[in-house]
Structure 1
Amino acid sequence: MNILVIENEIYLAQKIVSRLINDGHNCDHIDLPNTDAFTKEYDVILLSTSFPFNFCNNIIKKYNENCIILLVSYISDETVTLHIKSGAKDYIMKPFIMNELIRKIHHYKECKDINKELQKLRNYFQFTMLDINTTDVLSATSFPILIETNVQKHADKLVYELSIKMALPVIFISLSAKDWQNKINAIRRTSILYLTNYHTLRKCSKENLLKIIEKKNCIISTLEEELDFPYTKVEARNEKGLLANSNIMTIPDYVKAMVTSYQHKYTDTELSKKLGISRKSLWERRKKFDIEKRVLIS
């Protein structure tokens, strides 16, 4: 990191610079209130508040996107409070242990890196969801909630938007995992529990799940129509259907998705004909993918 030390106590400044250089950082030192000395970009600025207030405040306002740590001899509005409001990140009292200053520097470097990574992930998520229109607002007034959708990404975006609205983290659990029940039982109420692949469960497993999630902030997504769900249901369908998925599905995954999504609308004869397979092959795929046969809805 590039670090600038603005400190008029020469002995202290030399000690800080020596330690930072030994730790592998590039370090410059200024001992006079002269902004002309700023010749490059710095990741961290260590600013002594023994300089005039206006000089310190101007430095902070000009470089408030940097990590600015105040080196203070005493705490007051002018040395700490007003500077923090202007954009300084933290302060440390003189005399201080050098390791504590190093810890603060690394702490804010980590925070900056995490924020960059978070923004990158948010941008990527929003980019992948550009083709999903969520004009409906998912209400959080009555958990648990079931989202019936024909495109998984549609449900994902609704849950993401709700987590932002409620300022709650989301915990993802696939119901196709063998240990889904243990994972759910370990979740606290301070999170949104998002369960996918509800349509892959057998009837007895669904009944067990409904008992477990009764008092949890839980959202479930399914690619099937669920007639017996006792809690809030929301429909989030995309007219383009599976074609809205930007990823090419494998043939087994496609067949599995078609069977789970449309077996309640077509007879086995009709469904096998549309898939270009025999009724025996349809039966074999149900058995292979552990898909419970659904009653045809007339």
Structure 2
Amino acid sequence: MKIVIIENELYLAQSIAARLSEFHFETTIFSSVKEAMEAQADVYLLSTNLPGQNFLPLIERHKNKNVLLMVNYINNDTVGEPLKAGAKDYIVKPFMIEELIRKIEHFHRHRMYQERIRFYEEYLDDLYREIELPIDPEQLELPLVIHTNYQRIADKLALQLNRLRKNILQLISLEEPDWKERMGTLDEEHIGYITHLEKLKKSERETLYRLLDGKRFLLTDSSGSVETPFPSLRLDSSKRLYDQDEILTIDEYVQYIVRTFQYKFPDTELSRRLGISRKSLWEKRKKYELFKKK
């Protein structure tokens, strides 16, 4: 990790650099903000005790990196304004090198987690792009049971809800043996996203309902037929995508093939591969509204 030190007290800067090198950090020292403006690094250790120098432009230029302030005392000029400009944290001189490293590594981990979350969100957005929600997640009132013929509809709804609410969604699968113990994690901060109600026996469902009393949750039933004492909503899909772990009906399979390949093959080829006539294919298009978009 590359670290730039901007400090006009040369002895102090060299002392910090020497200690950081012991922990395998690569350091460069600058005595003025102007000299450090173009330096590229992962971390900028910026002294706010630089007489006659305006360090705010450096913070603004590198605000996407870790700008860590080294201050003699705390006030609006040394901490308040720099933090508003984009600095990430501060440390008061004199400080222990271990505390400095802790702050550096804390931000590094935080940024790594942010990048991972960004990747996961982009991936999930792409994965669920073809699934249309028939309801606005902002209108949902919890608790709520979702009866659906396609689990992914409920999954996308939960993902959208997780972005909208300040609460954290806690995933609990009723297929897992420890689901009863995990119900204890639901509190004011957490909303339960509880899946596979259809997998439970009737006696287990009664236990579940008692554990859920007074809690906020989104509960899914993929069979579409389980009765519960909670408010419910049915979200079925006529556009089920093909998953390798489920068996589709003949009609569902025809819908999937036509929807997926209708722009790749002409109707003569589609009907041949499906083993049906062109007339039958046309009738199925009309029945399931699978017409091509011009």
TM-score interval for Structure 1 and Structure 2 normalised by the shorter chain: 0.7 to 0.9
2:42 is equivalent to residue 43 of structure 1 = yes
State the identity as a percent: 29
Provide, for residues 150-190 of structure 1, a one-character-per-residue CA deviation record: whole Å limited to 9, x for no partner. Answer: 11111011112112222111111211222322221343242
Q: In structure 2, what is the Cα distance between the partners aligned to 1:77 and 1:215?
A: 46
Q: Using a 3 Å threshold, how does the CA distance of structure 1 residues 213 and 186 change in structure 2: closer, same or farther?
A: same
Using structure 1 for the length normalisation, give the TM-score. Answer: 0.77
2:229 is equivalent to residue 222 of structure 1 = no
Q: Using a 3 Å threshold, how does the CA distance of structure 1 residues 225 and 47 change in structure 2: closer, same or farther?
A: same
Deviation (angstroms), 1:137? 1.9
Q: In structure 2, what is the Cα distance between the partners aligned to 1:93 and 1:178?
A: 50
SS at match of 1:15: helix
Number of aligned positions between the proteins: 248
Provide, for residues 240-260 of structure 1, a one-character-per-residue CA deviation record: whole Å limited to 9, x for no partner. Answer: 22xx14x422xxx538xx8xx
Equivalent AA in structure 2 for residue 9 of structure 1: E
Q: In structure 1, what is the Cα distance between the partners aligned to 2:32 and 2:39?
A: 17
The answer for the alignment partner of 1:6 in structure 2 is: 6
Q: In structure 1, what is the Cα distance between the partners aligned to 2:155 and 2:53?
A: 50
Q: In structure 2, what is the Cα distance between the partners aligned to 1:127 and 1:34?
A: 44
Q: In structure 1, what is the Cα distance between the partners aligned to 2:33 and 2:165?
A: 46
Deviation (angstroms), 1:26? 1.4
> Are the counterparts in 1 of residues 142 and 218 from structure 2 also a CA contact under 8 Å?
no
**RMSD between aligned residues:** 2.0
Note the 1:190-201 alignment, pairs <5 A: 190-201=189-200
Runs of 4+, deviation exceeding 6 Å: none
Deviation (angstroms), 1:124? 1.1
2:247 to 243, 247, 254: 254
Tell me, which stretches of 5 or more residues in structure 2 are unaligned? Answer: 250-294
Using structure 2 for the length normalisation, give the TM-score. Answer: 0.78
The answer for the alignment partner of 1:261 in structure 2 is: none
The answer for the alignment partner of 1:127 in structure 2 is: 126
The answer for the alignment partner of 2:277 in structure 1 is: none
Equivalent AA in structure 2 for residue 206 of structure 1: R
The answer for the alignment partner of 2:146 in structure 1 is: 147
The answer for the alignment partner of 1:262 in structure 2 is: none
> Are the counterparts in 1 of residues 147 and 224 from structure 2 also a CA contact under 8 Å?
yes
Q: In structure 2, what is the Cα distance between the partners aligned to 1:195 and 1:24?
A: 46
SS at match of 1:55: coil
Equivalent AA in structure 2 for residue 254 of structure 1: I
Q: In structure 1, what is the Cα distance between the partners aligned to 2:128 and 2:206?
A: 32
The answer for the alignment partner of 2:211 in structure 1 is: 212
The answer for the alignment partner of 1:62 in structure 2 is: 61
Q: Using a 3 Å threshold, how does the CA distance of structure 1 residues 135 and 51 change in structure 2: closer, same or farther?
A: farther
Deviation (angstroms), 1:216? 1.0
> Are the counterparts in 2 of residues 64 and 87 from structure 1 also a CA contact under 8 Å?
yes
Deviation (angstroms), 1:40? 4.4
Q: Using a 3 Å threshold, how does the CA distance of structure 1 residues 133 and 146 change in structure 2: closer, same or farther?
A: same
Tell me, which stretches of 5 or more residues in structure 1 are unaligned? Answer: 259-298
Note the 1:1-298 alignment, pairs <5 A: 1-35=1-35, 37-52=36-51, 55-138=54-137, 139-143=139-143, 145-226=144-225, 228-241=227-240, 244-245=241-242, 247-249=243-245, 253-254=246-247
